[in-house]
Amino acid sequence: MPDDAPAPPREARGAAALRDALAAELRAERWRPGERLPTERALGARHGVARNTVRRALDALEREGLIRRHVGRGTFRTDAPPAPAPEEPLSPSDVVECRLILEPETIALAVARATAADIARMAECLRGTDAAGDPAAFERWDAALHDAFAQGTHNGAVIAMSRSLARVRDRTDWGALKARGNTAEHRAVLQRGHRAMVEAVRRRDRDAARREMREHILFVQGYMFGE
C-alpha cells in the first residue's frame, strides 16, 4: 500500500491508539527534549503493531509538534512547548463594543435569509419578553431573541461568534452593570426596539433592521456604561 493511501479502518484505529499512548509518554517526560525515541521497528515490537501503523502515529505526533524526524538520524522529542497564556476574560464594555460592530450586520443578513420558522421564533421571543415577570426572565428572553437573529443568518460562523459574546451575560459583573438600567422605563425602550427589529426582518427591510439594531445597542451601552 502506498504511504499516502488511506489506512484501513483497523490500522487507522491502531495508529490513533498508538499516537495517544506515545503522546502521553512524551508529556510525562518519558523522553527528555532532544532525546531520540526508539526506532519504528522497536516501537512496533513493543506495542505489537505493524511499522505502517507506527509511521502513521509518528506522522500525527510530528504534525502536532511533539516530535521531529530526521532521515538517517531518527526521531527526536522536541522542546516542550510553552504553556499557553491564561485567557483574559472579555470585559462587558468590550463585548458591547463588539456587538455594535457585529449585530447590525448580523440582522441585515437575517433580513435576507430568515425563514418563516426563524421569524416565528423571533416573535415567540418577543412574547417571552412581554410576559417576563422579573428582570432575569426578561434577560433570558432578550438573549434568546438576539440568538434568533443570529440563527436567522444561517451562517455557522456568525452564530458561533454571537453565542461566544452572549456568554458574558452569565457573569456577575454583567448582571451588576445591567441592573443599573433595570427599570420599567428602560425595559419598555428595549422592547420597542425589539419589536421594531423583528418587524424590519418581517418586512425584509435591511436598512431599518440595521438602524434599529445599532440604536438598540447604543441605548444599552449608554445606560450600562454612561456613554
> What are the residue ranges spanned by the domains of the chain?
9-77, 92-225
What pLDDT is attached to residue 5? 43
193, burial (CB in 10 Å: exposed 0-12, middle 13-18, buried 19+): middle
105, burial (CB in 10 Å: exposed 0-12, middle 13-18, buried 19+): middle
Q: Which of 70, 92, 78, 105 is nearest to 22 (CA)?
A: 78
Amino acid identity of residue 218, one-letter, is: L
What pLDDT is attached to residue 30? 84
What pLDDT is attached to residue 119? 96
Give per-10-residue mean pLDDT for the chain (227 aa). Answer: 45 77 84 90 90 90 88 84 58 89 96 95 94 86 94 92 83 71 84 96 97 95 79
Are 9-77 and 92-225 the same fold in CATH? no
* Fold observed for domain 92-225: Four Helix Bundle (Hemerythrin (Met), subunit A) (1.20.120)
What pLDDT is attached to residue 12? 57
What are residue 50's DSSP bridge partners?
Answer: none
* Region for 113 from its dihedrals, namely left if φ exceeds 0, alpha if ψ lies in -120 to 50, beta otherwise: alpha
What pLDDT is attached to residue 87? 57
Assigned CATH for 9-77: 1.10.10.10
